[in-house]
Amino acid sequence: MLLFCRSCRNGLLVEEGQHCHCFACNTCPYVHNITGMVTNRKYPKLKEVDDVLGGASAWENVDSAAEPCPKCEHPRAYFMQLLTRSADETMTTFYKCCNAQCRHRRRD
C-alpha cells in the first residue's frame, strides 16, 4: 500500500518506533501512527498472449506430406510453414503426425 504525506505529498515509509509502527515522511516531520493491521493485496492482471501458431483452427486446412513420424513411424504428417524470424530467414516447417493416436508435433 502506498500512502502520501498530507503536508508535502511525498511517499510515506514504514518505520518502527519504540512501541508501534508508523508511516513517516522522509522530507518533513509528518508521522501517521499505525493503529490496526494494514493489508491490501493487488494482483496484476496478466496480459493475454496470442498463439503464434494460429490457435486450435491452425491445423484444420493443412496438407500432408510423406514425412515419417520419429515417435510412431507413421509414414505421413500434416505440415504448415510459418515465418517465425525475420523476413530474410527461411520459414519454419511444423509437422504433426497423421496418426490419430500419436499426433506428435515437431518442427524443422
Binding positions for Zn(2+): 5, 8, 25, 28, 69, 72, 97, 102
- Measured CA angle at 72 (ends 68, 75), to 5 deg: 30
Q: Which long-range contacts (CB under 8 A, 24 or more apart) does 18-25 make?
A: none
CA–CA separation, 22 and 40 (whole Å):
16
Binding positions: 5, 8, 25, 28, 69, 72, 97, 102
